Amino acid sequence: MSPTPPERGGYADAATAPILSGMYPDPSICRVGEEYFLANSSFEYSPGVPIWHSRDLVSWRQIGNALTRDEQFPAGRSPSSRGIYAPTLRHHDGRFWLITTNIDDVRGGHQIYHASDPAGPWSAPVCLSQLDGIDPDLTWDDEGTCLVTYCSWSETEIGIRQVAVDLERRLVLEKPRWIWHGTGLAHSEGPHLYRRGDRWYLVIAEGGTDRGHVVSVARSLSPRGPFEAAAHNPVFTHRSTAHPVQNVGHADLVERPDGSWAAVYLGTRPRGRSPRFHVNGRETFLADVRWVDDWPQFEPARRHVPTEQRDFEDDFSAPALDPRWVSPGQRPDRFVHNAPEGVVVGHVPSETGEPSGLFTRVGGDHWEADFVVDPDEGTFTVALRLDGVHWYGLHVAGGEVTAVAQIGPVRSVLRARPLPGSPVTLRVRSTEPTWNGPDDIELGIDDGTDTDVLARLDGRYLSTEVAGGFTGRLVGVWTESREVVVRRVRYSERRA
């Protein structure tokens, strides 16, 4: 059985529910005809930059990952919350174009890729090593000149710079120019440029990607400026409100075929007692955009999101791994191979010490993940991971399974029990909180009749508010020695 799509059993309001639940931050979107394509940041995880397809902006299917080779993203060399930062995805002259920043690449600068099919393969990068900063954007002026607009950290200034480039000759054509320093808030970043009518609009993020996050806009008659800021900036924010979606910003706009506009943006869903805790990372949300006096006005999207579109059951019988599977260490194709009964996961170290394992993002309010494995003589761990030093897991070795909690430098070994006969189902579950946090995490083993819960742990310690960084939770399996056969993984999200 190959990975099967879920039945569409329920819907949620797009004003408060993400269109992509889980760690899918910094969304960038483009439209080709009736179809939409979207890319996200991926940080240390490989393969990098998930690529999505939709026809309605609320039902999305992952069609691939853009960065699948070492020449694009050297796997296993980026520690937690580093690696691949915010991309921009565009379509121009029959090609898809992707620009992003790998902040750990020795080649430096922003990197540009192209593909005829957004599902891949994507080209080797054009590296703009002369440029500093992050969050690059691609657009083309009326003469067809490509402009890269980005967040610059040059010298003592932070703001938005721009430079013309020749993609065919791989040349930067001019000295970078400052075009806007924002409205005076911190961290002017995430720029995107759009043409609408006679004007060009520069949309940026400000305030940092935490609770003060906002969207601001300026406009000009030229993509090179000078830019006039909207008098009512910020044009979109949830700061200092009780809205269930916080940290909103880093928006990218798209025009629908009927001439109306929408925006995708990142947000978080903090829960629990103050300061409240978000655990899924920054997720992708949808807004409607209405133009008032030739300025964009963000409004709640009047759409419904399928609540079960992330559920899956995978028995790994397909010839290739589903694109949902990623690794914080080496790429999966270096330590995973097919077997008649599932996939074999081996042990391959990474330069950073991050585990080379099969991981998938989690995202619901509450959820359950079952890993059906043949332990054999391997030593391995099934775990929920926020980063390399914040995870809860089930460690299997020597015929026993042990619940383990890693919180910073402290590793706690909790209850252990003998393994039942093979295969065995190891279960990680997010459930209702008992410690005023976002959730509790249960670590258990299914013995065929019931779940033996070895530990129930406070979910706050696997949150961004505790661990810091830019990522969210993933659940997966890695080995410390020998191999383990993973027969099947089932994952389902439940809304509280």
- List, by residue number, the catalytic residues: 26, 189
Task: Evaluate the omega torsion of the peptide bond into residue 323 and state whether it is cis, within 30 degrees of 0.
Answer: no
460-to-333, 357, 423, 466, 467 alpha-carbon distances in Å: 33, 24, 32, 7, 9
- Count of beta carbons in the 10 Å neighbourhood of residue 3: 15
From CA 156, how far away is CA 142, in angstroms rounded? 33
Cβ contact 266:284 at 8 Å: yes
Backbone angles phi, psi at 467, to 5 degrees: -85, -25
Residues 6+ apart with CB under 8 A from 475: 359, 360, 362, 369, 382, 383, 384, 385, 428, 491
Element (H, E) at 208: none
Per DSSP, 271 falls in state B
Name the residue type at position 413: V
Cβ contact 401:426 at 8 Å: yes
From CA 288, how far away is CA 262, in angstroms rounded? 4
Per DSSP, 327 falls in state B
From CA 77, how far away is CA 279, in angstroms rounded? 24
Q: What is the dihedral sign for C-alpha 22, 23, 29, 31?
A: negative
The separation between CA 112 and the C-alpha centre of its own chain, rounded to angstroms, equals 19
